[in-house]
């Protein structure tokens, strides 16, 4: 039985996305990256990830719109989503949590290693 956790990272900055991908894969997770909101939403539907890290400032669809659509679709409504953004003001944080994000992390305060630990905490499964 394959218990590999699939993580979708929706991030438009290629270097940041690659940094997260490399770290999460090194910790044993299967990682898929979406470079804009539309691609991320399509990947969430087609790849059925176990967990999503979502940036807010994205081309095509912003992170809030992606989150709203994820929560509205039965196939993705229950996927845990953590917002990972440069914006940490209280209003932005509150909006993300009200839309159904499990948590809100500020990129500057979060290391790639903490992302893997967060996946483990949220899924209860330790990577291989």
- For the chain, how big is the Rg over CA atoms in Å? 13
* pLDDT per position as a tens digit, 55-94: 999 999 999 999 999 999 999 999 999 999 998 899 999 9
In 3D space, the residue among 32, 55, 35 whose CA is nearest the CA of residue 44 turns out to be: 32
Helix (H, G, I), strand (E, B) or coil at 7: strand
Band of residue 114 on the pLDDT scale cut at 50, 70, 90 = confident
Instruction: Find where tokens 């176990």 sit.
Output: 50
Q: Under CATH, what is the fold of the domain 6-123?
A: Rossmann fold (3.40.50)
Is residue 1 very low, low, confident or very high in pLDDT (cuts 50, 70, 90)? very low
Q: Is 79 left (phi over 0), alpha (psi -120 to 50) or beta?
A: beta
pLDDT at 128: 54
């Amino acid at each position: 039985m394959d218990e590999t956790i699939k993580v979708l990272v929706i991030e438009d900055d290629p270097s940041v996305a690659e940094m997260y991908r490399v770290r999460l894969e090194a910790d044993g997770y299967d990682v898929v990256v979406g470079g804009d909101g539309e691609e991320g939403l399509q990947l969430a539907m087609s790849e059925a990830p176990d967990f999503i890290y979502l940036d807010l400032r994205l081309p095509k669809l912003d992170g809030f719109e992606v989150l709203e659509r994820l929560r509205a679709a039965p196939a993705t409504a229950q996927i845990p989503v953590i917002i990972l953004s440069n914006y940490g003001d209280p209003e932005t944080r509150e909006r993300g949590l009200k839309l159904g994000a499990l948590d809100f992390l500020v990129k500057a305060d979060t290391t790639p290693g903490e992302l893997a630990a967060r996946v483990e905490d949220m899924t209860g499964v330790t990577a291989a």
